[in-house]
Structure 1
Amino acid sequence: MKISAATLEGVNQKFAIKEMDISDPVADEVLVEIAGVGLCHTDLAVQHGQLPFAFPGVVGHEGSGTVVAVGPDVTGIAVGDRVGATFNSCGECTQCNLGMPSYCVEFMARNFTGSRPDGSSPLSLDGGPVGSYFFGQSSFATHAIARERNVVKLVEGIALELAGPLGCGVQTGAGAVLRSLPCAKGESLLVVGGGSVGLSAVLGAVVREMGTIIVAEPVAARRELALSLGATHVIDPNDGLVSEQVRAVLPEGVNYAIDTTASVKVLTDVIAAMSQRGTVGMLGVPSDPTAELALGLLEIQARGLSFKGIVEGDSDPEAFIPELVQYHLEGRFPFDKLITKMPLSQINEAIEAQGRGEVLKVVLIP
Structure 2
Amino acid sequence: MKTIAALSTGPDEPFTLAELDIDEPRPDELLVRIEAVGLCHTDLATKAMFPDGVAVVLGHEGAGIVERVGADVTDVHPGDKVVISYASCGTCERCGSGNPAYCRNFAQLNTSGARPDGSPTLTGPDGPVVGSFFGQSSFARYALTARRNAVVVPAEADLALAASFGCGVQTGAGAVVHVLKPGPDSRLVVFGLGGVGMAAVMAAANLGVRQIVGVDLSDTRRQTALKVGATDVLDGSAPELLTTLRQLTGGGATHAFDTTAVPGVIRTAAQGLASLGTLVLVGIGPDATLDLADLMGGGKTVRGSIEGDSDPQRFIPQLVEWQLDNAFPMQEIVRVFPFSQINEAVARSHDGSAIKPVLVFDA
TM-score between the two structures when normalised by the length of structure 2: 0.96
Check the 8 A contact 2:270/2:295 in 1, yes or no.
no
Which residue matches 1:22?
22
The question of 1:33 aligning with 2:33 is answered yes
Deviation at 1:326? 1.0
Query: How far, CA to CA, are the matches of 1:276 and 1:170 in structure 2?
Result: 29
Judged with a 3 Å threshold, the aligned counterparts in structure 2 of structure 1 residues 53 and 45 are, in CA distance, closer, same or farther, namely farther
Check the 8 A contact 1:168/1:312 in 2, yes or no.
yes
Which residue matches 1:323?
318
Query: How far, CA to CA, are the matches of 1:276 and 1:97 in structure 2?
Result: 34
Query: How far, CA to CA, are the matches of 2:280 and 2:85 in structure 1?
Result: 21
Deviation at 1:162? 2.7
Q: Equivalences for 1:1-366 in 2 at 5 Å?
A: 1-49=1-49, 55-126=54-125, 128-286=127-285, 291-366=286-361
Judged with a 3 Å threshold, the aligned counterparts in structure 2 of structure 1 residues 38 and 32 are, in CA distance, closer, same or farther, namely same
Q: Which aligned runs of 4 or more in structure 1 are off by greater than 6 angstroms?
A: 51-54
Deviation at 1:283? 1.2
Query: How far, CA to CA, are the matches of 2:66 and 2:257 in structure 1?
Result: 35
State the one-letter code of the partner of 1:330: D
**3-state secondary structure, aligned to 1:91:** coil
Judged with a 3 Å threshold, the aligned counterparts in structure 2 of structure 1 residues 136 and 54 are, in CA distance, closer, same or farther, namely farther
User: Deviation per CA, 1:268-321, whole angstroms, max 9, x where unpaired?
Assistant: 1111111000100001121xxxx3233344432221100110111111000100
Query: How far, CA to CA, are the matches of 1:306 and 1:341 in structure 2?
Result: 38
State the one-letter code of the partner of 1:340: R
Query: How far, CA to CA, are the matches of 2:27 and 2:242 in structure 1?
Result: 52
Query: How far, CA to CA, are the matches of 1:346 and 1:4 in structure 2?
Result: 14
Deviation at 1:11? 2.5
Deviation at 1:12? 2.6
**3-state secondary structure, aligned to 2:237:** helix
TM-score between the two structures when normalised by the length of structure 1: 0.95
State the identity as a percent.
41
Indicate the RMSD between aligned Cα atoms, in angstroms. Answer: 1.6
**3-state secondary structure, aligned to 2:205:** helix
Judged with a 3 Å threshold, the aligned counterparts in structure 2 of structure 1 residues 294 and 65 are, in CA distance, closer, same or farther, namely same
Check the 8 A contact 2:349/2:356 in 1, yes or no.
yes
State the one-letter code of the partner of 1:45: A
**3-state secondary structure, aligned to 1:163:** helix
**3-state secondary structure, aligned to 1:238:** coil
Deviation at 1:52? 9.8
Answer with 292-301 or 188-197: which moved more: 292-301
Answer with 239-248 or 115-124: which moved more: 239-248
Q: Which runs of 5+ in 2 are unaligned?
A: none
Q: Which runs of 5+ in 1 are unaligned?
A: none
**3-state secondary structure, aligned to 2:223:** helix
Answer with 292-301 or 164-173: which moved more: 292-301
- How many residues are paired up? 361
Query: How far, CA to CA, are the matches of 1:293 and 1:226 in structure 2?
Result: 26
Query: How far, CA to CA, are the matches of 2:284 and 2:95 in structure 1?
Result: 22
Query: How far, CA to CA, are the matches of 1:18 and 1:161 in structure 2?
Result: 23
Judged with a 3 Å threshold, the aligned counterparts in structure 2 of structure 1 residues 241 and 72 are, in CA distance, closer, same or farther, namely farther
Check the 8 A contact 2:271/2:294 in 1, yes or no.
no
**3-state secondary structure, aligned to 1:84:** strand
User: Deviation per CA, 1:148-207, whole angstroms, max 9, x where unpaired?
Assistant: 000000112211233210111111111111111121112110000010100100000101
Deviation at 1:127? 5.0
